[in-house]
Amino acid sequence: MAELRLQNLGKRFGDHAAVEAVELTVADGEFLALLGPSGCGKTTLLRLIAGFEEPDAGSISIAGREVARPGRQLPPEERRVGLVFQSYALWPHMSVAENVAYPLKVAGLPRAELVRRRDAALATTGLEGFAGRRPADLSGGQRQRVALARCLVMEPPLVLLDEPLANLDVHLRAAMQEEFAGFHDKTGATMVYITHDQAEAMALADRIAVMHQGRLQQVAAPRALYNEPATAMVAGFIGEGSLVEAELLGFEADGRAAVTLWDRRVRLRARPGQAPGPVVASLRPEQLSLTAPDGPDVLPARVRRAVYRGGRVALDLVPEAAPEASLLLLEPEATAPGPGERVGIAIGGGWVIPE
Ligand SMILES: Nc1ncnc2c1ncn2[C@@H]1O[C@H](COP(=O)(O)OP(=O)(O)O)[C@@H](O)[C@H]1O
Ligand SMILES: [Mg+2]
């Protein structure tokens, strides 16, 4: 059983802050995805948790026990953390069964216990039929499963995975995502899963932590992240849509925010208590719909680009009141206007970014 707790965690390389002021608690048994663009500090954060880097600020606790703070480090092998990376690092001269059993052998387990745990790990990862093969005779997905089984065999209460599917093709990734979800259900381990793929994070995680330039931007369930992004970075990074400058006037009796957007009054959602004034709002494509150009409360616009997406067309719309702005709307193929056409946009919702 392992809760993971990071408090004010920081790590610098020279004058570059790779991880800064990270506060995060991952509950026992939770599946947390750590999501962010390349270079934002994900791997460094994971290496800090595993014990391969020493923090220069803050602390790390696993299962209520402090394992790291500046100047005091518990070595990796004493943290009971399982690791899975994208490079499988399997022993090429050993069979699948030998690879999986290797950590148990090193730990000096009695033979009967070793066989029991090895076979259980092979079964959990669907590798029973491949026990005698060498890694060279396996597909990429099978090799990744061996790496997973080798981690699982130690029954670690905390498992860290660093982009484990990044080397696999799209179909295999979908299948392996299911395996990771199944692995999590069966073991009940606390999991921190690094990815730069938001679809993967959404499919797998209880909560997603979005990281940017070494800092956590938001930690929330996938739906909350999409519908109520805490920052413009999160709104832009998760899903599609548009960010627009607007003016928050105040809240109406039903809790909706009254907002002025290019001289039109629209009603959006906002965090209660947010002060009136200039704001940035996130408008998702499904919150916009096409209508006649000149109705009341309608935003007249022109189609700048129409990109076919298979069944639907992505429309890049330029409001007449704001030629520098751009709104994304997805319209079924049959009713989609073409480039240059004049349309009306009805705004059915949106979210005021709180910061
Ligand atoms: N050992 C190191 N020495 C110097 N800079 C490093 C080292 N490891 C990582 N960095 C830098 O820290 C930043 C975060 O890297 P990393 O944690 O690998 O990001 P991510 O995994 O999100 O792509 C990057 O700018 C990277 O160049
Ligand atoms: Mg990385």
Statement to judge: residues 63 and 177 lie in one domain: yes
Position 142 scores a pLDDT of 87
pLDDT grade for 179, boundaries at 50, 70 and 90: confident
Q: Who surrounds ion ligand 2 at CB < 5 A?
A: 42-43
The tokens 């396996």 sit on which residue? 138
Residues framing ligand 1 (Cβ under 6 A): 13, 16, 18, 36, 38-44
Statement to judge: residues 152 and 33 lie in one domain: yes
CATH value at residue 264: 2.40.50.140
Position 1 scores a pLDDT of 67
- Res. 18: pLDDT tops 80: yes
Tell me the per-residue pLDDT of 101-150, one tens digit each, with 9 for 90 and over.
999 998 899 999 999 999 988 988 888 899 999 999 998 888 888 988 89
Domain boundary among 168, 191, 225: 225
Task: Tell me how far the alpha carbon of residue 41 lies from the centroid of ligand 2, in angstroms.
Answer: 7
Statement to judge: residues 263 and 215 lie in one domain: no
Report the atom number in ligand 1 closest to the C-alpha of 14.
4
CATH value at residue 125: 3.40.50.300
Position 224 scores a pLDDT of 95
Statement to judge: residues 341 and 275 lie in one domain: yes
Tell me the per-residue pLDDT of 231-273, one tens digit each, with 9 for 90 and over.
999 999 999 999 999 999 999 999 999 999 998 999 999 999 9
Task: Tell me how far the alpha carbon of residue 16 lies from the centroid of ligand 1, in angstroms.
Answer: 9
Statement to judge: residues 244 and 198 lie in one domain: no
Task: Give the domain extent around 191.
Answer: 4-225
Position 323 scores a pLDDT of 94
Domain boundary among 179, 197, 225: 225
Residue 233 in any domain: the answer is: no
Average pLDDT in the 277-297 region? 93
Average pLDDT in the 11-32 region? 97
Q: How many domains does the chain have?
A: 2
Tell me the per-residue pLDDT of 199-224, one tens digit each, with 9 for 90 and over.
999 999 999 999 999 999 999 999 99
Instruction: Find the ligand nearest to 85 CA.
Output: 2
- Res. 182: pLDDT tops 90: no
Domain boundary among 225, 248, 272: 225
Task: Tell me how far the alpha carbon of residue 45 lies from the centroid of ligand 2, in angstroms.
Answer: 9
Statement to judge: residues 42 and 102 lie in one domain: yes
- Mean pLDDT, the chain, integer: 93
Average pLDDT in the 25-36 region? 97
Residue 194 in any domain: the answer is: yes
Residue 232 in any domain: the answer is: no
Tell me the per-residue pLDDT of 322-347, one tens digit each, with 9 for 90 and over.
999 999 999 999 999 999 999 999 99
Residue 313 in any domain: the answer is: yes
- Res. 10: pLDDT tops 90: yes
Average pLDDT in the 73-98 region? 89
Statement to judge: residues 337 and 202 lie in one domain: no
Report the atom number in ligand 1 closest to the C-alpha of 41.
17
With the most atoms of ligand 1 within 8 angstroms of its CB, the residue from 13, 16, 211, 215 to mutate is 13
Statement to judge: residues 185 and 248 lie in one domain: no
Task: Tell me how far the alpha carbon of residue 38 lies from the centroid of ligand 2, in angstroms.
Answer: 7
